[in-house]
């Protein structure tokens, strides 16, 4: 059994994917080919943004936006500690300070009330300048932007939606990557919409920010690549990956539906045995992961392993406790710390067989 079954996906769509790759090879434009522009316009229209800027990966996408906005030493950027390291890593890389805010105990996304408190504390301390908030759409569910936006506006901060796990999700009729001043996503192979290498995308409605992000992504270029007007990165999406993504996007709606059906089966069969994911009213998750909680996590994971069923833990150590951030002032974030102790992920992908899910549920139920 596969935790994420990319092989089955490829075999079912092998012919169209191979043809797309071959077209790029025959065309010979391996960087900046027409497929990159086509992907940008296609995905911008899908999420409802004016601009989409392709880049090399989801981490660079976050960093490019922060660089374009001039984030640096002395700045405070507020985010969740319950996410992948990259979200806060890019803040530290630029010399700014990540300020971790505890999460909602049901959704595992950043808690808007605690965000308000955290910003107030930083303002009162006066040693850092609050600049931005990076809410993360964890496990595929969009963060509570209807509550986060007023908090950010109250304090004069701008929002960067980290939608690396949520592409395709919806909240209140809006799609993932349509919230905040800018949004970013990842096309890492395991993501809901993934390529066969690395890739990322930035989305924004701000014309000036879009120009700046394109510049930062290509060595800070101005009129051309030799007119370097600012310090930037070398962060471009390869044409082959764009071609693959265009083909995979054609099957993406059906895959989202299949993920949702798989999640519903899990939740039905596991209800009362473990804490199943909570999806807020008016929300549709992209189900990047299906994570459950149990104080008997170790026993359950061991039983599943015996049956050759893979599992994973997202995330075993909240970011405020990782070694890389030991230079920050210590904080206690009880919800993040509690969730990290008993959460684990089950296989989730569009090609899960009902029989496979039933076996997983039976093993957990028997523990």
**Active-site residue, 69 included:** no
Residue holding tokens 């392993």? Answer: 305
d(CA 43, CA 59): 19
Q: Catalytic pick from 191, 225, 273, 359? A: 191
Query: Which residue in the block uniquely carries the two structure tokens 């026993």?
Result: 299
Q: How far apart are CA 202 and CA 58, in angstroms?
A: 9
What three-state secondary structure class fits 303? helix
CA 258 to CA 249: how far, in whole Å?
14
Please name the residues in contact with 262: beta carbons below 8 A apart, sequence gap of 6 or more.
287, 290, 348, 349, 350, 352, 357
Helices within 174-238 (DSSP H only): 207-217
User: String of b and e for 234-266 (b: at least 16 CB within 10 Å)?
Assistant: ebbbbbbbbbbbbbbbebbeebbebbbebbebb
Q: Residue 346 in 3-state DSSP?
A: strand
Q: How far apart are CA 191 and CA 17, in angstroms?
A: 17
Q: Which residues are catalytic?
A: 191
């Amino acid at each position: 059994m596969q935790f994420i079954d990319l092989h089955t996906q490829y075999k079912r769509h092998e012919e169209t994917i191979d043809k797309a790759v071959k077209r790029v090879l025959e065309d010979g434009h391996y960087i900046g080919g027409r497929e990159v522009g086509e992907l940008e316009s296609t995905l911008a229209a899908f999420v409802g943004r004016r601009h989409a800027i392709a880049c090399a990966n989801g981490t660079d996408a976050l960093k490019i936006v922060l660089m374009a906005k001039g984030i640096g030493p002395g700045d405070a950027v507020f985010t969740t500690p319950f996410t992948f390291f990259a979200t806060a890593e890019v803040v530290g890389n630029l010399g700014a300070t990540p300020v971790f805010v505890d999460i909602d105990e049901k959704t595992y996304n950043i808690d808007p009330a605690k965000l308000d408190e955290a910003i107030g504390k930083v303002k009162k301390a006066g040693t850092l300048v609050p600049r931005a908030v990076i809410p993360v759409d964890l496990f595929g569910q969009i963060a509570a932007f209807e509550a986060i936006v007023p908090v950010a506006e109250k304090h004069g901060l701008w929002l960067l939606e980290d939608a690396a796990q949520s592409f395709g999700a919806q909240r209140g009729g809006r799609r993932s990557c349509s919230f905040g001043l800018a949004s970013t996503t990842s096309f890492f192979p395991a993501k809901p919409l993934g390529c066969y290498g690395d890739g990322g995308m930035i989305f924004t409605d701000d014309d000036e920010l879009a120009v700046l992000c394109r510049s930062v992504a290509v060595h800070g270029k101005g009129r051309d690549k030799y007119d370097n007007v600012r310090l930037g990165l070398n962060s471009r999406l390869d044409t082959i990956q764009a071609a693959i993504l265009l083909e995979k996007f054609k099957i993406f709606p059906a895959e989202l539906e299949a993920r949702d059906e798989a999640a519903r089966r899990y939740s039905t069969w596991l209800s009362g045995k473990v804490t199943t994911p909570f999806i807020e009213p008016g929300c549709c998750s992209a189900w990047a992961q299906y994570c459950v909680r149990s104080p008997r996590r170790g026993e359950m994971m061991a039983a599943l392993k015996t049956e050759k069923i893979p599992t994973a833990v997202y995330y075993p150590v909240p970011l405020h406790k990782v070694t890389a951030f030991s230079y920050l002032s210590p904080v206690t974030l009880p919800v993040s710390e509690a969730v990290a102790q008993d959460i684990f992920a089950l296989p989730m992908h569009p090609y899960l067989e009902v029989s496979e899910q039933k076996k997983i549920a039976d093993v957990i139920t028997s523990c």
